[in-house]
């Protein structure tokens, strides 16, 4: 069976959160409006989103994973992968358009995915004929999707991701095979190796734990504040 992605509770419609933006957040500390965090399943995206949103009084945007075609997809029914992927594409597109509305209020938005994530999963799950149709729609929609000021790519080895997935013990992740997770990690590495669209901060999470080690998170924040154009690599405290 092929797996399509992470399943968790959504954080609710973004537009309902616009009114809750705190405009008195410390903007001088973080001159960014939109940060997107991406990486394979289990690497810690949502945890980092929640920490950053709390630190800088921002709005967290968690991917909406409600999809009526997922049951058929997990049963490996013919055509279900294509239906599921198109639904996710349109859902993610709508979410990204709502992010653009939040930007009008000059609040910090921190999302736990980038729009191109959809294409990474599509390439893993669709056949060539399905991908041909998908690409036409993706290219049409992506033109109006706002680009983040910064993308943070969280890297993690297969062992690290498996350990974290097992630790959080979410029922819907039990169907994720080791082989699929390996392919997903390789796909993410390939994509971000060639990434040039926005400033990119690559963070190897194998040697850090920003959830239980506050000093690790604080140090990462300091590098985020100093972000520049191009690709930068976070170097953990103990490796300097």
Let me know: does 37 contact 152? Beta carbons within 8 Å: yes
Query: Checking DSSP bridges between strand 231-233 and strand 200-204, what pairing results, if any?
Result: parallel
Active-site residue 218, yes or no? no
Sign of the Cα pseudo-torsion (13, 14, 17, 18, in order)? negative
Cβ atoms < 10 Å from Cβ of 194:
6
Closest CA to 29 of 3, 56, 61: 56
Q: In the sheet where 200-204 sits, what is the strand order?
A: 59-61, 109-111, 34-38, 150-155, 200-204, 231-233
- Name the β-bridge partners of 38: 153
Sign of the Cα pseudo-torsion (60, 189, 94, 66, in order)? negative
Give the active site residue among 11, 38, 64, 112: 112
Q: Which residues are catalytic, by number? A: 112
């Amino acid at each position: 069976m092929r797996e399509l992605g992470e399943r968790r509770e959504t954080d609710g419609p973004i537009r309902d959160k616009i009114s809750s933006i705190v405009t008195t957040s410390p903007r001088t500390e973080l001159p960014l409006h939109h940060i997107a965090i991406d990486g394979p399943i289990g690497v810690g995206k949502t945890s980092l989103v929640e920490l950053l949103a709390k630190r800088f009084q921002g709005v967290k945007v968690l991917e909406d994973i409600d999809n009526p075609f997922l049951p058929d997809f997990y049963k490996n029914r013919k055509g279900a992968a294509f239906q599921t992927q198109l639904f996710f594409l349109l859902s993610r597109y709508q979410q990204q358009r709502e992010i653009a509305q939040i930007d009008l209020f000059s609040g910090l938005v921190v999302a736990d995915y980038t729009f191109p994530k959809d294409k990474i999963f599509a390439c893993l799950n669709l056949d060539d004929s399905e991908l041909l149709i998908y690409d036409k729609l993706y290219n049409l929609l992506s033109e109006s999707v706002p680009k983040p000021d910064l993308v943070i790519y969280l890297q993690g080895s297969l062992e690290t991701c498996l350990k974290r997935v097992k630790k959080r013990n979410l029922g819907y992740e039990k169907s994720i095979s080791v082989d699929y997770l390996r392919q997903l990690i390789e796909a993410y590495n390939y994509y971000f190796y060639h990434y040039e669209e926005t400033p990119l901060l690559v963070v190897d999470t194998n040697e850090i734990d920003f959830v239980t080690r506050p000093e690790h998170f604080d140090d990462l924040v300091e590098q985020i504040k100093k972000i520049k154009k191009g690709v930068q690599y976070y170097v953990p405290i103990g490796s300097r």
